[in-house]
Structure 1
Amino acid sequence: MKLFTARLASCFMSLTFAQDISIESFAPGLSNPVNFKHAGDDRLFVTERRGTITVINADGSVNAFSFLNIDDRVTNSGSEQGLLAMAFHPNYTSNGFFYINYIDHNEDTVISRFTRSSINVADPNSGVILLNIVQPFVKHNGGNMHFRPDGYMYITLGDGGAVGDPENRAQSLNTLLVKIFRIDVDATEMGSYDIPLDNPFFGDTAALGEMWAYKLRNTGNFYFDRTTGDLWSADVGDSQIEEINKVDAPSTDGENYGWKCFEGNSTFVSQTSCSTITHKAPVTQYTHSSTGECSITRDYVYRIPIQTTLQGLYFFVDSCNDSIGFAEGATPRNYDISFIENYSEFSISAFGEDINGELYRPSLFQGSLFKLKDVDLRVQDQSVTKRNMFPNPVKDVLTFDAVSTSNQIESITIHDTQGELIATHSNFEEQLITIPTTSLTTRFHIVEISNSKGDRSIRKLIVK
């Protein structure tokens, strides 16, 4: 296995600082991998956009033949189309059932069940369609699917695309777009699934009974914490704010997550219907201007004791720069966010775990699966909520807000992308600092912030 070592918060490989993070190249030879799951054993089953599922064995070897090949039924021309997700039935070992989410030739979502024919091969002719969902646009089609210990399958879909949700799909209770929905695949009164009696909208004639949570925007991934059962979801923002939601277990949900009345904790529109809603606020968020990021996606919580420094951290990816970040709980409903590395050459499409809980991430364009390794990711006083640098991109003046921190900022240095020092600022008397940026002539820079204790934080800076 090939080992890569990257440095904390350097988005350019020539400039390195502070903490180490290492990843192993675990399994090359894949085709646009977007998602993967284990089936209760040490193999990983990878969904590939073109319409195939490939098996990776415990030693990282990739089977030469597909577990499932339905590329003749799948459209993957759009950036968020293709074979997008899968989930294994809790009794997969005995019944061989698994479920997939793909975009068909009508450019609509299909949720379908297939059956295993042998240990490494599924029958492509065994498909049973559970749901067809019309997609109005080719964006925000994605979603994930998981079974919870209650035996029900949970599925997410985005709002179908277009800026600002022009058709108000998030607010509608009569579409499964922009929802987390919950179905019983073992009851067949409706033909291929039934609606659990304890679903929050069951029996409501004004709503679809499948719905379990609503008014999301584009929850491309969600995940049940293997230790606590809590549901985590990363929800892509529209214009400025990316948010992370958490539903504590046990929960009957029925929660309203606020879109498009709210984007994160901020008002997005002020239409009449928004004045009466009570929504569940995210546990944390970050803005485009403060981080340079703009599209939160895949997420997982690390829960096994082997790599102790990762324990309990919620990992996510921002797809604009392919940056890996993590959230760490300060209080039960308040999490601090840190970004640890940019992997723009990888095009990270997901996070996922094996049967032991070890985390992996597929590279969409490199066609490989990488394994996250043990590192000390915590850097004191580093979170974006404690040291805010804005605006980013910047034109004339850059502001650093460290009012909420206990240690004085000692120095701020700016480097170019080759690591050359461009400017140094020091001897600050205040925790709210402004520095001019009119002398910065190139677009991309690296900013290093140091405090009186020697702690450092590294940020990417874009100059307009």
Structure 2
Amino acid sequence: MYTRLSTLGLVAAAAICAAPTATAQTPLTTELVADGFTGPVWAGSPPGDDRIFVVEKRGTIQIIDGSGSVLPTPFLDINSLVGGFATGNDERGLYTMAFHPNFATNGKFFVYFYNNNDQTVARQYTLTSANVADASSGLTFYRVTQPFPNHNGGDLKFGPDGMLYLGTGDGGSANDPGCRAQNRLETLGKMLRFDVNNVVPTSGGNGNAAIPPTNPGVGDPTTDDLIWHTGLRNPWRWSFDRLTGEMYIADVGQNAREEVDVVPSNVGNLNFGWRVEEGTRNNGNGSCPPGTPAFGSSVYTRPVWEYTHSFGASISGGYVYRGCAIPDLQGEYFVADFLAGSSDIWSFSYTGTAVPFNNATQQRAAELDPPGSLGLGQISSFGEDGAGELLIVDYSGGEIFRIVPDGVAPAACPPLVSRFSRLSVSSGGTQYLELHAGASNAGSVYFMAGTTSGTFPGTPAGSLTLPINVDAYTLFLLQNPGALPLLNSIGVLDADGRAEARVRIAPGALDVSFVGTTLHHAYIVLDGIGTVTLASNAAECVLEP
């Protein structure tokens, strides 16, 4: 097979981006995906997977299959390990899950919860079968004792560098009485960063995760090695923009402000100011030790968006829309307020400067109100399904909804869709290239090419044009199909006409002269006699420090 694919790759060589933003606004609504859940707090899918995993606060994870049915057996049940969930106001429980980037092959996933010993815990699990996890496989690689039962953070996610990030709360009570968020030797009130690609078992269900050498605290005796960012109060829900890799942190406020902070891809060591600053408001130094920077210090990073408690009092962060079905929604960040319920759902587009709440924020509550007798209650979370379409998690109603176009047919994905378009030369990372060639091309061979010299005018590919200008990088990939940095550059499309390739930059593999280089990749599809039947759009990948 490889010989045949290589030959067809040479045929391709011889033959030899994002979706545009529309001006009209597609009307939106929501559709019910499934209901009957008990205290759902998170929902999401591995990329390309038609299942939706639903995390229930009581300590269970359920699966909605591709037909919309909830499977009878929970994917994971660790209720006996999870503390809290006695009342609706109890902040303890199971909070979230994250899929390893290679979940489809290694079956590893990660959860974060409050245990029965007043500790918050991050654990790795593996599978018994495709739809059932092995509850006995848990390895705890992070735990911290909580001084109070509230403000526990609640989200963990993989970044474009393949590292696992965990947002922790400040330890609770009110106004951070221990000033823990500003204490760089404590992991509370922080964004933490782990290398969990090889969690090494120790004893008693514990394991050791590696510390990324590029974490700011490595080699600094004044900072814990796990810390990536400081100065957070309670980052209950945060996310990565799946295209740009930017980190959007929704931090729950104290008595006056709710905020969203945005961090450029691959940037660490920021301080978001809590407990001294609540959004852009002076909250005072309180119990913080002498020397803690005062309000207005240049040490602190200010939010890009905030609202006062006249609109709500507990922000539920969401995601930047990067699905295919609603092209003119590209780049819009969705967010809600848990206590305000369905009355406050907003979206805004961040382009590098702070976004005013009133005149640059779109109120979405009315159009996202489900049709008929259905309704949204307390929104605990948003989510992304396997295609990047946005989900809404209704905690009080026990329902999962999907945002869809209203009265307009959903758009199809372009032939090439990328996740993470900016990679760090120093930290490394992976760009995921999703091929959507259509079912008519099922079983056909694809061949992907790359360039560092742009996409126009492109290269003839049979009767079509591939948006790749041939240069030294193009020739390297042709001579080394499937080798780093472009993995799976040649292969066979599945029954749906889909495949995945990856641009993989190993940490430190490139010298700093590559910083600022823009790679573009695109592919062609060949039929059985070598005729080019499709030439895709190009996907961009920018190399950053």
What is the TM-score with the length of structure 2 in the denominator? Answer: 0.62
Paired residues for 1:275-294 under 5 Å = 275=294, 278-289=299-310, 292-294=311-313
Check 1:127–1:188 CA distance in 2 against 1; reply closer, same or farther (3 A cut). closer
Residue identity over aligned pairs, in percent, reads: 37
Deviation string 1:53-87 (CA, Å, 9 cap, x unpaired) is 11111221110110111111111236211111111
Please state whether the residue corresponding to 1:349 is helix, strand or coil: strand
> Residue by residue, what CA displacement relative to the aligned partner does 1:128-168 show, whole Å, maximum 9, x if unpaired?
11111111112112310111131110011111222211111
Q: 1:207 aligns with which of 211, 223, 236?
A: 223
What displacement does 1:373 show?
A: 2.1
Instruction: Report the 3-state secondary structure (helix = DSSP H, G, I; strand = E; otherwise coil) of the residue aligned with 2:317.
Output: strand
Match of residue 166 from structure 1: 177
Deviating runs (4+, > 4 A) in structure 1? 187-191, 342-345
Partners of 1:21 and 1:80 lie apart in 2 by: 32
Shift of 1:366: 1.6
Alignment-derived partner of residue 321 in structure 2: 302
Q: Which residue is equivalent to 1:51?
A: 59
Residue 363 (structure 2) aligned to one of 339, 342, 347: 339
Deviations 1:16-63 (A, max 9, x none): xxx975211111122211112312311111111111111111221110
- Relative to structure 1, the CA distance from residue 47 to residue 346 in structure 2 (aligned partners, 3 Å threshold; closer, same or farther) is same
Q: 1-side partners of 2:394 and 2:199: how far apart?
A: 38
Q: Is the 8 A contact 1:310 1:374 kept in 2?
A: no
1:309 and 1:375 in contact (8 A); partners too: no
Structure 2 unaligned runs (5+)?
1-25, 370-374, 408-545
d(CA) in 1 for partners of 2:106 and 2:93?
A: 26
8 Å CA contact retained: 1:32, 1:49: yes
The Cα shift of 1:308 comes to: 3.0
Please name the residue that 1:367 is paired with.
398
Rounded to whole Å, the distance in 2 between the matches of 1:208 and 1:277 is 22
Q: Is the 8 A contact 1:143 1:219 kept in 2?
A: yes
1:327 equivalenced with 2:342 (yes/no): no
1:312-366 C-alpha deviation (Å, 9 max, x unpaired): 111011112122111223x512223333327785111100001111001111122
Aligned to 1:192, the other structure's residue is in SS state strand
Q: Is the 8 A contact 1:44 1:56 kept in 2?
A: yes
Q: Secondary structure at the match of 1:170?
A: helix
Contact residue 324 and residue 389 of structure 2 kept, 8 A: no
Q: Deviations over 1:362-385 (max 9, x none)?
A: 111221111112369xxxxxxxxx
Aligned to 2:13: none
Give the Å deviation of 1:300: 0.7
Q: Displacement of 1:188 after TM fit?
A: 5.1
Contact 2:347–2:361 (8 Å) recurs in 1: yes
Q: State the match for 1:88 in structure 2.
A: 99
Counterpart for residue 269 of structure 2: 254
Name the SS of the counterpart of 2:335 in structure 1: strand
Q: How does 1:370-449 map to 2 (within 5 A)?
A: 370-374=401-405
Which residue identity does 1:33 align to in structure 2?
A: P
Query: What's the CA shift for 1:305?
Result: 3.8
Distance 1:341 1:65 in 2: 34
When residues 126 and 188 of structure 1 are mapped into structure 2, their CA distance, relative to the original with a 3 A threshold, is: closer
Q: Distance in 2 between matches of 1:45 and 1:269?
A: 41
Partners in 1 of 2:285 and 2:181 — Cα distance? 15
* TM-score computed with the length of structure 1 as normaliser: 0.72
Deviation at 1:235, TM superposition (A): 0.8
Structure with higher helix content: 2
Q: 1:42 maps to which residue? A: 50
Q: How does 1:10-21 map to 2 (within 5 A)?
A: 21=28
Corresponding residue for 2:281? 266
8 A Cα contact 1:34 1:48, kept in partner = yes
Q: Secondary structure at the match of 2:319?
A: strand
**What do the CA deviations read for 1:94-152 (whole angstroms, capped 9, x no partner)?**
22111110111113211111110101111111111111111111211231011113111
Pairwise CA RMSD of aligned residues? Answer: 2.1
Distance (Å, rounded) in 1 between the aligned partners of 2:300 and 2:37: 41
Gaps (5+ residues) in structure 1? Answer: 1-18, 377-464
Does 1:67 find its partner at 2:39? no
Matched, 1:177 2:179: no
Pick one of 228, 239, 245 that aligns with 1:229.
245
What amino acid is the match of 2:170? Answer: D
Match of 1:105, SS state, is: coil
* Structure 2 partner of 1:115: 126
Say whether 1:27 aligns with 2:34.
yes
Counterpart of 2:142 (choices 108, 117, 131) is 131
**Larger RCO, structures 1/2 (Cα 8 Å, 6+ apart):** 2
Residue 513 (structure 2) aligns with: none
Superposed CA offset, 1:184-237 (max 9, x none): 112457952011000111121122100000101111111110111111011111
Contact 2:28/2:404, CA 8 A, preserved across alignment: yes
> Is this contact kept in 1: 2:339–2:378, CA < 8 A?
no
Provide Cα deviations, 1:240-273, integer angstroms capped at 9, x if missing partner. Answer: 111110011232x100111111111122105652
Task: Pick closer, same or farther for the CA change 1:320–1:46 going to 2, 3 Å.
Answer: same
Q: Which moved more, 1:333-342 or 1:43-52?
A: 333-342
1:233·1:246 contact (CA, 8 Å) conserved in 2?
Answer: yes
1:195 and 2:211 correspond: yes
